[in-house]
Structures are given as C-alpha cells and as structure tokens.
Amino acid sequence: MFPDSLRNAQPRVYNGKTYSAAQHYSDSSVFIFVPDYFDQKKPMNLVFWFHGWSSNIDTSLVKFQLVEQFYASQRNAIFIFPEGPKNAPDSYGGKLETKAEFYKLGRDVLPYIPSEKVFGFSTKQAKETLFPITITLAGHSGAYRVMGKILANGSPIEEVFLFDGLYGEIEAYQSFAVKQPQKRFINIYTDNGGTKQNSLDFLLQLDSLNVPYLHKEEDALTTEDLKTNRIIFLHSKMGHNEVITNNSNFERFLKKDY
C-alpha cells in the first residue's frame, strides 16, 4: 500500500496533528501466512485483511488473534495482510486504491511463498501464471475505504467481511451485494461504533430492491444461518474493538464446513 506519493504531497492532518509520510506512510510490509494444512490440490483462496485507524500489522495480529482464528477455520487459503497507514488516524488505502496495484500486490507476494509446496511449481512459474483462486476481503473499522475502492475498481472478489466499518463507500458495497448474486457479504455493526445508521439504511435499500438478507443479533447467529444466507447483517452488543474476536467471528465466517 505504501509508500505512496499522495501523502508526501498532502500530509495527513487530524485534530491539529500532522502525520508525516516518513513515519506513517512508508512501511511496505506485507504479512503472509500459509497454514501447514494447506492442500495445493484443493481450490485456493486468498484472504486479505486490512487494519483500521491508529493500528499496524503487529498490534492487529495480536489484539484480534487473526492468525489463530484463520488457522482454526481450516480454510484452504493464504492469509495476506498489507500494512496500511501505520499508527495513523487515516483510512487512505495508498496504492491499493487503484485496480492495477491490487493485482500487483498478489504478484509481488508470490516470491515470498514457498511456491513448490503451495502451488506445485516454481516461483517463476507462479509469477507467470493466473491461478484458479478466489479472493476474500476482510477488515475492521477504517479498512472500509480501501476495501470499498477495491470493490469499486471491479476486482473479482468472492466475499467481504466488514467488522464495524460501514462508514463510507456505501455504493461500492451495495453494488457488490446487489449486483453479484453469488457473492457473500457479512457486515457487523455496533451501537456506538458510528456504523449503525448506515447499516440500517443499507437494509432499507435492500428492502426496496427486494434483495433477501438475514438481519439478527450476533450472538444468535448459527451455522445454519451462515450456510443458507448470502447477505448477513449482525447487530453486536459488544464494543467496536471486540466484534472480531467475540464468538471467534473471523474464524466462523471463514469456515467452509457448512
């Protein structure tokens, strides 16, 4: 996602404080996790995670138990977590806000994956090959922007998990949910996270278009619900930073045994 020229030209200023490009928008790290149960003979999924405001890869991995939940899901997938605005109150998605760069990210990470084991052929072949893969976007809070931009740019996304982050890019999320009837969209909102009204308005839009969905309490969600519903809106009684780990939500959304 970074470094990116925009934050050099237009520094982020929030509540009177300037967040420099050098300190907050220069880290090009990407965390990659390939589980030891990964089976190259099965369909492959890439799961991209994006963090929210004032966070980074390291703190998010620990705070939200992302690897632990990913592993427990047994999803035959590779987990990819690019660094966003590092420890900055900002939703800007850097280079990933353009379609070409999102594709390029997938190519760039391939040399760092043990491709003989994962894909069954060499890194060079992997870089030159388009795989029969599916892509999942998942993120928390301020991640809404980069995820929305990726959707708006027409990238072939299979499913989206948004954790208390429906602050904007509403049209992109609505288009994904409404116009692509085979795709999954799960949105969790809280009472005080600032996403409740947008979520309820989204549901009114679905009603007006006669698009079916499930809307219920997070604690009441069942395996059968996940199996039989494509669009799911969950109201959580938990706090803004608790909706990922509560009920191991990231894990149960990823599970494919239903």
Tens of pLDDT, residues 92-133: 999 999 888 888 887 777 777 765 556 555 555 555 554 568
Q: Supply the CATH number for residue 38's domain.
A: 3.40.50.1820
Work out the pLDDT band at 220, boundaries 50, 70, 90. Answer: very high
Q: What is the domain extent for residue 208?
A: 5-254
Phi, psi dihedrals of residue 237, rounded to the nearest 5°: -85, -5
**% of the chain residues with pLDDT over 70:** 92
Rounded to an integer, the average pLDDT of 163-177 is 97
Residue 75 has pLDDT above 70, yes or no: yes
Q: Is 128 helix (H, G, I), strand (E, B) or coil?
A: coil
Which value, in Å, is the radius of gyration of the alpha carbons in the chain?
18
Helix-strand-coil percent breakdown of the chain, rounded to 5? 40, 20, 40
| Tokens read off for 22 | 């050098």
Peptide bond into 111 cis (omega under 30): no
* CA 218 – CA 202 distance, rounded (Å): 17
pLDDT at 163: 98
**% of the chain residues with pLDDT over 90:** 78
Domain count, the chain: 1
